[in-house]
A = this chain, B = another copy of it.
């Protein structure tokens, strides 16, 4: 038996292009620290902990670990399993601690959004209450960029770079074919926050450039306004390229569309959105009388490793690395934050926020980043996002012309407890 404790790394929620870079930072820094025996991976996030479905990441080849930086999604596996309050999900929380105890896990590094920070916080408090020595550190991760207390979230810069480029490229298509395909709508992610939609505004370097209209959940949306906006752009340019966040809301705060489908809500209780672009298309065709088409990038936008932001990859790594350093320095119950320096040239360092604060916070696109008409962004938003998308992350291309991604061997750790889930 090792005398040194073990650490565990887990990934949660929707994947990003760089959540694996954060994992890489944790793993390489934890190995370097010499203070942990093994670094374990929780297969599919907290689900893997509950099921005692673990593997020894530190036994993986160093080149596999290094290649995390070039691999999108979540190589350790992710999930959408939600632990509720300590009262409601007591058994789950206790099981987490039991698994940690069984495997001598004293460090818990959890990359995710506010639900995950909430889980890490509660595990941490339960451990303290029961006298089990545990350090829980959160690593920000969400393409939605809606976590409070951090300048931005790893994952967002890469999706921003990609969707802005997609708007540029598809915008040129609409420009070339405007005599028939006069309107194109690009639907992007963003349930409650319009950060991704807003990022595409960077592509509009001049008035001719797409997108001409950007709709974000933060600005009240109406179909009357849409029709008026479209007609104005058409008069000017003869074509219109629109970016729509998936979670557009009317003046009463209701989603203008909710494609409930068979699985109407995900397990976090979020309404499954979709169909915004289709609805816009249909209204524009009927009310304006022009042909409209739509592109829905879906999960491709959050995994576009092939054009990820180097700034993002580096910062995601730094967040993982610093989570370990802070933990070794005695910090606990915190999430690493990104702190933009007040300098002429973009510089970003890390800070810390209480897990419980992050869990309960939310950061929307502020009014000063949205233009007065509520249909585009301001220079303040451009200044915010521009430095984030800079730099092209290196990728390895195989002999077949396609990117090469890693996969862990995931040799399962021997289970010590009874089956739980």
B169 and A300 contact, CB distance less than 8 A: yes
A285 and B298 contact, CB distance less than 8 A: no
Any chain B CB within 8 A of the CB of A122?
no
Give the docked Cα–Cα distance between A72 and B174 (Å). 11
Interface with B: A97-105, A335-343, A359-367, A395-403, which one? A395-403
Q: Which residue of B lies closest to A19 (CB)?
A: B176
CB neighbours (8 Å) of A78 from chain B are 176-177
A165 and B392 contact, CB distance less than 8 A: no
B407 and A208 contact, CB distance less than 8 A: yes
CB distance from A380 to the nearest CB of B (A): 15
Any chain B CB within 8 A of the CB of A83?
no
Interface 0/1 of A291-327, CB less than 8 Å to B:
1011111111011111101000000000000000000
- Contacts known (A169-B303, A295-B297); A401 close to B397, Cβ less than 8 A: no
CB distance from A268 to the nearest CB of B (A): 9
- From B169, B405, B407, A306 is in contact (CB under 8 Å) with B169
- From B177, B281, B297, A79 is in contact (CB under 8 Å) with B177
A14 and B402 contact, CB distance less than 8 A: no
Q: Which residue of B lies closest to A407 (CB)?
A: B208
B15 and A176 contact, CB distance less than 8 A: yes
Q: Which residue of B lies closest to A275 (CB)?
A: B278
Give the docked Cα–Cα distance between A388 and B400 (Å). 9
A298 and B294 contact, CB distance less than 8 A: yes
Q: Which residue of B lies closest to A294 (CB)?
A: B298
B302 and A285 contact, CB distance less than 8 A: no
A181-224 contacts to B (CB < 8 Å): 181, 184, 186, 202-203, 205, 208
CB neighbours (8 Å) of A274 from chain B are 293
Interface with B: A249-257, A258-266, A411-419, which one? A258-266
B173 and A79 contact, CB distance less than 8 A: no
- From B77, B173, B282, A73 is in contact (CB under 8 Å) with B173
CB neighbours (8 Å) of A125 from chain B are none
- From B173, B184, B285, A262 is in contact (CB under 8 Å) with B285
CB neighbours (8 Å) of A390 from chain B are 399-401
Give the docked Cα–Cα distance between A282 and B401 (Å). 34
Give the docked Cα–Cα distance between A68 and B63 (Å). 39
Q: Which of A285, A300, A386, A392: most chain B Cβ within 10 A? A: A300
CB distance from A201 to the nearest CB of B (A): 11
CB distance from A288 to the nearest CB of B (A): 10
B303 and A285 contact, CB distance less than 8 A: no
Give the docked Cα–Cα distance between A274 and B186 (Å). 15
A400 and B202 contact, CB distance less than 8 A: yes
- Contacts known (A173-B15, A303-B173, A403-B165); A179 close to B80, Cβ less than 8 A: yes
Interface 0/1 of A24-60, CB less than 8 Å to B:
0000000000000000000010010000000000000
CB distance from A411 to the nearest CB of B (A): 16
Can you identify 6 A-B contacts, CB atoms within 8 angstroms? A72-B173, A79-B180, A161-B401, A169-B403, A170-B300, A386-B400
**Pairs A-B, 7 closest by C-beta atoms:** A295-B298, A73-B172, A389-B401, A74-B176, A390-B401, A169-B303, A262-B285
Given pairs A15-B176, A263-B285, A274-B293, 12 additional interface contacts (CB within 8 A): A44-B176, A71-B172, A73-B172, A75-B176, A165-B402, A169-B300, A170-B299, A173-B302, A262-B285, A296-B298, A386-B401, A390-B400
